[in-house]
Amino acid sequence: MHKLIVWTEKAALAVCASAVFIMMAVGAIDILMGNVLGYYLSYKVELSGTLLASSIFLACSPVQRGNEHIRVDLFESSMSDKTKKATAFLGTLCGLLFVGLITYGLWNQAIKSIMIFEGSADTSGFPIWPWKLACPIGASLCVLTMIGQLIQQMTNASALKESK
């Protein structure tokens, strides 16, 4: 199961990198066209916003797995190991609840978007629904990662109790 999640995360990161590249290319083309031809792309804002949201959620799981998110550790140096483990567990549990609720809402939005084949409201008509589908997929990977971390934290805590 772990290998499948890691492989899926790598695929999600590849899509994420593609989305970031597209955002950069569209931004550069828009600036060049605006300065040279006086014509700006009409869809740049909607495209960039859609791709940015997808990129954030697709990168969420590897960040959670690597414990690379922003944290406040002001009091961590004065905590005992037991307190650090308890706060890590509580933080993962709260994060799971928060990301789980977001994931639920994202799946509802993605399903509605797929049902109507949602496209851009501007003149380009580029499809939005694939990128709206990428958001709950990335968030779901993060939820799976957090569930795995909670299980690992619980088994490590029970192993410590048995050794004493």
Domain map (residue ranges) of the chain: 2-71+79-163
pTM: 0.82
17: tokens are 């990198």
pLDDT of residue 42: 83
pLDDT at residue 110, as a whole number: 95
What is the pLDDT confidence band of residue 161, given thresholds at 50, 70 and 90? Answer: low
pLDDT at 81: 85
- Over residues 8-26, the mean pLDDT reads 92
What percentage of the chain has pLDDT greater than the value 70?
A: 94
CA distance linking residue 147 with residue 32, whole number of Å: 46
pLDDT in the model for residue 111: 96
Q: Which residues of 35-62 are buried (b: 16+ CB within 10 A; e: fewer)?
A: eeeeeebebbeebbebbebbbebbbbbb
With beta carbons less than 8 A apart as the criterion, state whether 41 and 29 touch. yes
Convert the pLDDT of each residue in 100-126 to its tens digit.
999 999 999 999 999 999 988 777 778
CA 34 – CA 27 distance, rounded (Å): 10
